Amino acid sequence: MMGTLLLTSKGVAGVPRASLVILAATVNQFNIPEWPIAIILGVDALMDMGRTSVNLMGNCLASAVVARWEGEFDDEMANNG
């Protein structure tokens, strides 16, 4: 079940409410009751905002690291704002 969730959850942070669709499909595949997913609906908006912000920060950090690695990041401009 963990492997299925890992494979199907790639790219989920950029799509609103996609985690619920993936969770419902995985639960259905393993014959687990689906009613507990309804409980998650109440807090999923907050969790979705958290996933999106973590994804955004990771993408920004990765861009800065690659730019510095390639010698394209201008330290002087970054320090002067």
Q: What is the pLDDT of residue 25?
A: 87
Q: What mean pLDDT, rounded, does the chain reach?
A: 84
Which structural domain, as residue segments, surrounds residue 62?
Answer: 2-80
pLDDT, tens digit, 9 for 90 and up, residues 64-78? 999 989 988 877 777
pLDDT, tens digit, 9 for 90 and up, residues 26-64? 898 899 898 888 888 888 888 888 888 888 899 899 999
HSE-CB of 10 using CA atoms within 13 angstroms: 5
pLDDT at 81 over 80: no
Q: How many domains does the chain have?
A: 1
Q: CA 60, 61, 64, 66: dihedral to nearest 10 degrees?
A: -110
Q: What is the pLDDT of residue 65?
A: 93
Sequence-distant (≥ 6) Cβ neighbours of residue 15 within 8 angstroms: none
Q: How far apart are CA 25 and CA 60, in angstroms?
A: 31
